[in-house]
Amino acid sequence: MVTRCNNVGVRIYVDAVVNHMCGSGGGSGNGATCGSYFNAGTRDFSAVPYSAWDFNDGKCKTGSGEIENYNDIYQVRDCRLVGLLDLALEKDYVRSKVAEYMNNLIDIGVAGFRIDAAKHMWPGDMQAFLGQLKNLNTRWFSSGTRPFIYQEVIDLGGEAIKASDYFGNGRVTEFKYGAKLGTVLRRWDGEKMAYLKNWGEGWGFMASDRALVFVDNHDNQRGHGAGGASILTFWDARLYKMAVGFMLAHPYGFTRVMSSYRWTRNFQGGTDVNDWIGPPSNGDGSTKAVTINADSTCGNDWVCEHRWRQIRNMVIFRNVVDGQPFSNWWDNGSNQVAFGRGNRGFIVFNNDDGSLNVNLQTGLPAGTYCDVISGQKEGNSCTGTKVSVGSNGIANFQISNQAEDPFIAIHVNAKLSLNVNLQTGLPAGIYFDVISGQKEGDRCTGIQVQVVGDSTANFQISNQAEDPFIAIHVDATL
């Protein structure tokens, strides 16, 4: 799988669970990895191998052996998390086995790791095994490329352990991001999108170059982890697409998009008692195939948010505007907002109770653009809404608050190419474009333009051209 993905430019990041083994009450048998033997009671994991010497049972100071107080950093990092056997990562042997496991994955071709439960490991212990990792496989990566590391640290404030404790090891999950953005888009607690003008560090988040951000993840979409009821998920599709669109358009943080599956929810007392259900399965327990629908979305109860047109196109938007500054902010003081990314992209949201009809400075070159939310550019036409940007960078945007997706996004790679007949005022003849080339003797090194008897000429300019303009004059005729 890793080879196949790498060969088409898809990188794999492993969710590495290295803080602990199975639960202390997990029993014994041959049902561990690849049928290997384990005994949770005696701490025997022969396939690694780990023994009772490799766990923190003697180091944890609580009577239960469990974490009892999250304001005690020693308990959080040395005791069992919900009964899971806590590995003694201060020991060189344990560190070497973790590094061996991760290096094997690097040899296979993975691009990096999400370190699960990083909050429950000492930063120095993590640094010790991360420092033993190889560079990435040069079959797919440049020589000397280091694995990308991001660490799961839930820090909503009010606890002794801080996300900043882990900055030295790589990026860190910013759980406040999805919780706050969900509150804003749900318009709870008096929040408005207008307040997002200083989104990021201005909201008390960690520095952008340290943050791994997301709207939801596998835990909090089920009410686990952090964020609570404000978290937006695929179950709230309209607001969810807006939230992911905002995240991918905004420059803050390193973004991650979720891809999920449906399960039958059963709320009892406000809690989904089916939150444990695994992926779509056949009658024999095997996982169902991911089927692809005609519109490129998924079937068989696979949600595949990454394939939704709006989200897929916003990933493209983010790549197009990469490195461009946050610019041209506008809001109506409530829940209609817009902003640009330099001269490469612009996005507008209407999360208000009324329609939006406004002229805005986009910062983009003049031309006709395809909205990549209602549709996309196909060939040299738009399947959705068109937006005309004038020579002054201003465009009119109209968005109904009843629209299926009440936001519009345009970028320079979704601009229509020019193909038009224009009156030049020049005598008939063949002219050479002095932008793409020049006249050399009796030939053109660039584009030729034919002006016919009524002084009109056809001009075709791709929006992807290195120099998307043409100039002709009377001294440049053949």
| Residues catalogued as catalytic | 116, 152
Question: Rounded CA gap, 236 and 362, in Å?
Answer: 29
Task: Tell whether the torsion through CA atoms of 236, 239, 242 and 243 is positive or negative.
Answer: negative
- Residue 185 DSSP class: H
Q: Using alpha carbons, select from 434, 429, 359 the residue that is nearest to residue 395.
A: 359
265-268 long-range Cβ contacts below 8 angstroms, 24+ apart: none
Residue where the block lists tokens 């009796």: 442
Consecutive H or E run containing 182: helix 175-186
Question: Rounded CA gap, 59 and 95, in Å?
Answer: 17
Q: Are 349 and 368 in contact (CB under 8 A)?
A: no
Residues 6+ apart with CB under 8 A from 167: 206, 210
Residues 6+ apart with CB under 8 A from 235: none
Beta carbons within 10 angstroms of residue 188's beta carbon? 11
Residue where the block lists tokens 């068989």: 300
Residue 229 CA to its chain's centroid (Å): 21
Q: Are 281 and 287 in contact (CB under 8 A)?
A: yes
Residue where the block lists tokens 């009377």: 474
Report the number of secondary-structure helices (H) and strands (E) in the chain: 7, 29
183-192 long-range Cβ contacts below 8 angstroms, 24+ apart: 183/230, 185/232, 185/239, 185/242, 185/243, 185/246, 185/351, 186/230, 186/232, 186/239, 187/335, 187/351, 188/230, 192/333, 192/334, 192/335
Residue where the block lists tokens 């030729």: 448
Q: Tell me whether strands 254-255 and 336-341 are parallel, antiparallel or unpaired.
A: unpaired
Q: Are 238 and 280 in contact (CB under 8 A)?
A: no
